Structure 1
Amino acid sequence: DMCKNSCCAFTGIYINDVTCRFCNLERYIISNNSKKPQEPQKTAMYFPLLERFRIQYADSERALKLRYRSQREECDDEYSDIFDGDLYKELVEEGFFSDERDIALIGSTDGYQIFRQKTDSCWILMFINANLPPTIR
């Protein structure tokens, strides 16, 4: 559940709130039917990464594709993937990505101001599983 104005998500310290602490809007749609479960005015979807990875590795066909990073041929004279880059090679030398199941993520962020007063902002985070071959990322 989240505030209709997107002020907050009703989780953590807000989990038991029935109104938004920021704009005072009701959390639930007001209904005359007391037998009907309360319906939130707005919801947001959240997909935990760890659970997504577990699901992918549980599928044997997908698990094979996720080994791309550990099984690909290294290119010294050309860059055909992020795994040919210096940063990845440095991380490997430091002991990262030692298990073929270790997951490399490509991250991207984008932020914007929500209101004209510029007191609030929102950031979108996007991650791509780099363990998959580039053709299916």
Structure 2
Amino acid sequence: MSRAVPQVVTRSRLAVAVATVAILAGCGALPSAPEPSRACAAGFEAFERDTLYFGRAIPAGGQVSDAQWTAFLDAVVTPAFPKGLTVIDAAGQWRGASGSVMRESSKLVVLLHPRSSRDDTAIAGIIGTYRQRFGQEAVLQERQSVCVRF
């Protein structure tokens, strides 16, 4: 009989552990885009919102000027997203690879678009071009699935 009690306790613990894993497994997987019929209300479409954070301080010295930013926006970003975008002026800070905190003026570009590999490639190209052209360590990309109505 002394052996039966530990087996019951072990089975109970196992059942609790299995239930916990099953519950937590459901928390880890979120859909990459809402399905219009399930997640978006009537009249809305499932889109992605990508926000790109462009620091204007140039690590080698100086800053991306207004003229340089406008030229980049006109030549690189606008052709990739000709239907529209939003640019926001911001002040930001981040800790770079050197470990020091960098404070700099920034530009945020908000892109709303249906999810597609073409747009993913275009965004990667925008980020790569900015990093190379202005010697940037990084450009932050934030993505959220959203429902939009025009």
Structure 1 length normalisation: TM-score? 0.25
Q: In terms of Rg, which structure is larger?
A: 2
Compute the TM-score of the two structures, normalised by the length of structure 2: 0.23
Q: Does 1 or 2 have the higher relative contact order (CA < 8 Å, sep 6+)?
A: 2
